[in-house]
Structure 1
């Protein structure tokens, strides 16, 4: 009877997890979607010069690279990733509205530091929680691709409507309050998430019924001695994943920084540019919702990453040739592979690779050492490339994906 009740409770918990994660990711990406396009305009309105805007944005990226692994380790050591995430979201909401009161470089710098440190855990922790929840047998109804796709769709909606909100308010400062409101709601959603289950090794014999509360499984002695960061970096597959993710995701740096400038110089109008940008995010949503799990099931994590790398070689090569709009449309649709498919493959590897209770640290290290560090360095180099060769800088991004291709083929997700 007790087993029946426990099974019914677990099934109910599995059904309850999906809407709660959908709420969290929707609020989170709505917040990012309203802020990201207009933060430079906010900084300029508050007195920052163009050079200072670049410095503030670059400084924020650098601080997050350092703070993300620390935040992930805190979440893992405390065993309370939901609480850490909620506190970070509330701190981010409080700090972002301070931009509206900051005037001049020194004040903006202080607010920028606080905001960067507060937002550092907001990237990796939701992914860590969702990936772990999707791996729990009782929550097979939770599909990470659906959750992440809902976030991407929310980002599109927010980015589109934020412009109308700015026009109606007559000032970009309105996005600060919209972002803060979304993040406060996301903090509440984080606290409503089901408690993560303890993932125990599979027993060789049928175990006795578990007590109502099971303490977290202790980490191996070698892991405790090495520390969580060193323990992960000692895993060859984790190092390979960081390198593959850095090369493929980092190859988007030139696109993010200079594709629009190049398209404008080529005479492509703002309407067409907006459509091209939306197509890439729409393709990302399709992969997260519909194609990602099928690709992983058919090709595995390594094959999916290799497909993403090959798509990157094709996409960036075409853009380096100053392709017409008719060819740019299918190249933008490849964003679903170069970004979303590779991201889902990386999450699949981490779900099996990271030792229990190191999920937050693993996500933070991948985001900082892989995607974040490569992107930050390549953004700096992309400026010099664009000054020298214009859209020809995409050839360098194609070469990075070419380097990632053989490495990706050797990537394997350890068996469950």
Structure 2
């Protein structure tokens, strides 16, 4: 049975050696991106808690920018498509996001309106900085297709840096106040902006693989481009499935560190627990290329979905630390395998000229709307049943798995979907 393959493999079953400078520059930029997410994702809830916010308030602050991605994602994606160079919108998005993060340091001036101040500033800052990720993903996919290197190489470097950031910041939190978290996030945003300007090559969006280049009308409206993508039902349902799988991580991202510290684990242990998951993610990306090609993205989505349901179901039982190390390793499937399969399917099912917009739309729904709904619910669930909230995440994964199974059965009988 034929299957969807990553873009370059259609033309190069054994891809030629890539231009090291391009691959290295992409990897270096991912390093800066994940220095930021390695701090904001697991540790910003602790910073908000240190400011006196409740679990429900933290959940709402984390959820609002995700929910708004239904609008902000497509808008920023269309806006970014108007720039000729890939790097230009990334420079401005990261710089502006860092400024809004920095303004949160003025919280004493908010007085009784501190919660609302955090809500507005975090929403804008997070929206801007996280919009860089789908843009660099699309850029790297396109360049990998043209120059013949695996997308997972620079992405895996970023994940490795995420691990290092988890461990380092977890250690620093045993020595310093939680304010170090906000300082780190602000500096990371500035670093991403500088790296986009100084490290990324001035590659044009017109620099597409010749065999896949598609003529496009520069006068085509953003609404018309969105309509083209949404007219593909297979693409739409893939994004819905991805949304369920990614939203299943919302309780984990928002409250796992708080839960672990509440169970008596130190900041250093919490950092190591996060690190185990990302080490498994890096290993998956770096060591499974041939296996992923043989399995194909559809079947990988199903396998990873089964393991995702298992991961959250066990986490709901509050396993001891000795078991938790092994469960964390399932992050290789619940996140990495699903993430890569989704990127591959979205990129393959979309017109190449709309690659950046397709990935922005995918991110808007999966790590936006669905993750936002999950995070919004997670705050209230944590306040009521604590770690039992992982059971709801298992349910979300089960929904994504069901959609993936149905899509797989359809594509087996429909050659045009393979």
Counterparts of residues 79-118 of structure 1 (less than 5 Å) = 79-101=84-106, 103-104=109-110, 105=114, 108=118, 111-118=121-128
- The residue number in structure 1 matching 2:164 is 157
Secondary structure of the structure 1 residue equivalent to 2:352:
coil
**In structure 2, do the counterparts of structure 1 residues 48 and 345 end up closer, same or farther at CA, with 3 Å as the change threshold?**
same
- The residue number in structure 2 matching 1:144 is 151
Report the TM-score, using the length of structure 2 for normalisation.
0.80
2:173 is equivalent to residue 175 of structure 1: no
| Contact residue 284 and residue 336 of structure 1 kept, 8 A | yes
- The residue number in structure 1 matching 2:372 is 376
Counterparts of residues 42-121 of structure 1 (less than 5 Å) = 49-50=53-54, 54-101=59-106, 103-104=109-110, 105=114, 108=118, 111-121=121-131
| Contact residue 65 and residue 368 of structure 2 kept, 8 A | no
If you compute each CA radius of gyration, which structure gives the higher value, 1 or 2?
Answer: 1
What is the alpha-carbon root mean square deviation over aligned residues? 3.4
- The residue number in structure 1 matching 2:19 is 14
Unaligned runs of 5+ in 2: 1-15
> Deviation at 1:171?
4.5
Which of 233, 237, 241 in structure 2 is aligned with 1:240?
Answer: 237
Secondary structure of the structure 2 residue equivalent to 1:123:
helix
1:126 and 1:310 map into 2 onto residues whose CA distance is 29
Moved more, 261-270 or 152-161: 261-270
- The residue number in structure 1 matching 2:3 is none
| Contact residue 347 and residue 359 of structure 2 kept, 8 A | no
Secondary structure of the structure 2 residue equivalent to 1:227:
helix
Unaligned runs of 5+ in 1: 1-10, 203-213
1:393 and 1:402 map into 2 onto residues whose CA distance is 15
- The residue number in structure 1 matching 2:318 is 322
Counterparts of residues 32-43 of structure 1 (less than 5 Å) = 32-40=37-45
> Deviation at 1:407?
2.5
2:136 is equivalent to residue 126 of structure 1: yes
2:129 and 2:402 map into 1 onto residues whose CA distance is 34
| Contact residue 85 and residue 190 of structure 1 kept, 8 A | no
**In structure 2, do the counterparts of structure 1 residues 128 and 189 end up closer, same or farther at CA, with 3 Å as the change threshold?**
farther
> Deviation at 1:286?
1.1
> Deviation at 1:145?
1.0
What is the aligned length? 388
2:355 is equivalent to residue 359 of structure 1: yes
2:397 and 2:228 map into 1 onto residues whose CA distance is 28
**In structure 2, do the counterparts of structure 1 residues 321 and 56 end up closer, same or farther at CA, with 3 Å as the change threshold?**
closer
Which of 391, 395, 398 in structure 1 is aligned with 2:387?
Answer: 391
> Deviation at 1:178?
2.7
| Contact residue 83 and residue 191 of structure 1 kept, 8 A | no
1:117 and 1:248 map into 2 onto residues whose CA distance is 21
Larger relative contact order (CA 8 Å, sep ≥ 6)? 2
Moved more, 336-345 or 390-399: 390-399
2:268 and 2:170 map into 1 onto residues whose CA distance is 14
2:177 and 2:383 map into 1 onto residues whose CA distance is 37
